[in-house]
Amino acid sequence: MTGTIDISESLAEATALVEIRALHPRVHCIVNEAAVSVTANVLLASGATPSMSHDPQEITAFTSSSNALSVNLGMLTQSKCQAITTAVSTASKHRIPWVLDPALSDRSEFRLEYCKKLLEQQPSVLRGNAAEIDAICRSMNLTREELARNRSLVVMTTGEVDQVVSQNRTQDIACGHPWMECVTGLGCAFSALLAAFLTVIDDAFDAAVDIAQTYGSIGHAAAARSHGPGTFFGHFLDCLYAESIQ
């Protein structure tokens, strides 16, 4: 299946957000320090319950007691790598859906190789921008479609047009607003909210398509109420919250 969805003119249906608000799923996030507050606030506005620790001594307890896991490779340290490895192993053991965000893997050979090792643990979704996803594909000599089939996962590339690829389906979604790129951490928060979507939508491909439509349409709604990036994020949280309580 292929096609393009253009949601720039109206809000997408947000039934997943309503379900998240009702269930308050726990989403554990390992995210770079610059994005912690934004990520936590986006999850809270959706109705999800975030936890943010990446201390190796706590990570097993937080991951095992969560409904989903989001792993972001920003600002990697040896301690954070240890925590991520443990978190991913714990998620696999307990069959907890998880999202891998390969932040800036196109600019660090160490990060790229670590990302490839994590892919062996079968995340539900690999979500990154075109530079990050294409760097991973080139290093493995695979196309996005081949990577999805080879690893039995969903490959999501976000940008001006989002692309979602699974083993047998491809969907392009024209979405988002330019101001979304002017708020530090909003992409990281996208991955965390995607993890929350995986708790209410069983099919990872459908969850990825749904959040692309929802996140993008909320971005347009927020921009219509804003004067620029400074006011945009507050309106983004307001619009996200409003959609979750419909």
User: Where do the domains of the chain lie, and which CATH numbers do they carry?
Assistant: 4-244 (3.40.1190.20)
DSSP string, 169-215: -EEEEE---GGGGGSTTHHHHHHHHHHHHTTT-S-HHHHHHHHHHHH
| Cα–Cα distance for residue pair 86/93, rounded to 1 Å | 10
Nearest to 123 by CA among 60, 68, 56: 68
- Mean pLDDT across the chain, nearest whole number? 93
Share of residues in the chain with pLDDT > 90 (%): 88
Nearest to 155 by CA among 186, 133, 132: 133
Instruction: Give residue 15's pLDDT.
Output: 86
pTM for this one? 0.93
Beta bridge partners of residue 174, listed in sequence order: 6, 161
Q: What is the pLDDT of residues 33-91, one digit of tens each?
A: 999 999 999 999 999 999 999 999 999 999 999 999 999 999 999 999 999 999 999 99
Strand 49-51 relative to strand 26-30, pairing: parallel
Does residue 24 surpass a pLDDT of 50? yes
Instruction: Give residue 3's pLDDT.
Output: 52
Does residue 9 surpass a pLDDT of 90? no
Beta bridge partners of residue 100, listed in sequence order: 71, 126
Q: Is 71 helix (H, G, I), strand (E, B) or coil?
A: strand
Q: What is the pLDDT of residues 136-161, one digit of tens each?
A: 999 999 999 999 999 999 999 999 89
Beta bridge partners of residue 101, listed in sequence order: 72
Helices 229-244 and 36-46, interaxial angle, to 10°?
A: 30
Q: What is the pLDDT of residues 181-202, one digit of tens each?
A: 889 899 999 999 999 999 999 9
Can you tell me the mean pLDDT for 107-134? 97
Instruction: Give residue 160's pLDDT.
Output: 87
Judge whether 43 and 54 are in contact, CB under 8 Å.
no
